[in-house]
Amino acid sequence: MRADVAYDLFTAADPNHDTSSGDYEVMVWLARLGDVQPIGSKVGTATVAGHTWEFWDGMNGAMRVYSFVAPTAVNSFNANIKDFFNYIAANRGFPAASQHLITAQFGTEPFTGGPATFTVSSFSLNVN
């Protein structure tokens, strides 16, 4: 099995942007199964939401992708996702004041392998 378990968030300056992409994508990988990696290159580590993450930065076409990757699986996670946006605004020049959250997702991205079962016992997301 090669997959990730992640939050996947897209922002755009235009609040009516197509929700399948954006100006920026922010991913928070809670687990990495197999030899998969995010778009771009590992550029360091970041401590956010009580965890230390590998921090990746790259481009997917014209969209900048920031990924926070847990070095070992995080099986229980309760955090304010905005903390990740605060980190990239303070450390990577993310233009928070001009961006709108257009899509927020959570789940798994299977690359190869299976069959597998993905179970989430509780999930909630509030946007303020």
Tell me the catalytic residues. 25, 109
Q: Which of 80, 33, 76, 73 is nearest to 53 (CA)?
A: 73
Q: Is 38 exposed, middle or buried (0-12, 13-18, 19+ CB in 10 A)?
A: buried
Contact 27, 40 (CB under 8 A): no
Count CB atoms within 10 A of the CB of residue 72.
8
